[in-house]
Amino acid sequence: METAFQRLEWLIGKDKVADLATKSVLVFGCGGVGSYAIEALARGGIGRLVIVDGDVVAVSNINRQLIALPETVGMRKVQAEYNRVKQIRPDMVVEAHDMVYTKDIYPEFIEEAKVDFIVDAIDMVTAKIQIAEEAKRLHIPMIMSMGCGNKLHPELLTLADIKKTHTCRLARVMRRELRKRQITSLPVVYSPEPVITPVRDEDSKSPGTISVMPSVAGLIMAGYVLRQLEGLDK
């Protein structure tokens, strides 16, 4: 009888698909990068997802976020994401946390989440640093997204160790700050594409975005997580 993961079983084997169903992944961010990573992890057989976001769906999110639809505008992002994942896999364990994570406010959150992998798909530098520090302290593998804004070429997105990144402004900041904390090696998805200066309202500081950049970054991250959990990169 046909099953949801039949094609995946053909590719990696029934044992590995069964093992994926026992794994838990914590995803910070349900936006452009995070929503695609979450979707791919759910469709990829992960058994439990812990999702974190403290924002609401805005009209301007529709161009790049899976959860952003006319009918979800104004909805809390974690609720929209929870609903979407449950539509895909009604029996999946999904824990939604409507919050903006910082270790100062939620000091035990990552440890108490009890996960096998962490995906950082947020853009707040302070929180990214703290997530990386906690992952190192708790020996939880993780992957981090760098900047996707003000860029046009998804084919340039690259999976690399942060120490080998270049050109990306966010990666430069993160290299410096993580080095201060003795974190010199960390898998990231980044683009070496030079940024485009956006033409926007004078009172806005948000980057320009195109649909294909954050989506591809999220899928690359999810692919890395699935392969690492099952030793498929060896």
> In a 3-state reduction of DSSP, which class is residue 116?
coil
Which residue has tokens 């409507």?
Answer: 98
Positions of E strands within 37-112: 48-53, 93-98
Question: What domains are defined for the chain?
Answer: 13-229 (3.40.50.720)
pLDDT of residue 129: 98
pLDDT of residue 179: 96
pLDDT of residue 7: 97
Binned average pLDDT, 10 residues per bin, the chain of 234 residues: 94 98 98 98 98 98 98 98 98 98 97 98 97 98 96 98 96 97 97 92 85 98 98 90
Q: What is the CA radius of gyration of the chain?
A: 17
pLDDT of residue 1: 77
> In a 3-state reduction of DSSP, which class is residue 231?
coil
Using a cut of 0.85, tell me whether the model's pTM lies above it. yes
Given a contact cutoff of 8 angstroms between Cβ atoms, the answer to whether 128 and 171 are in contact is: no
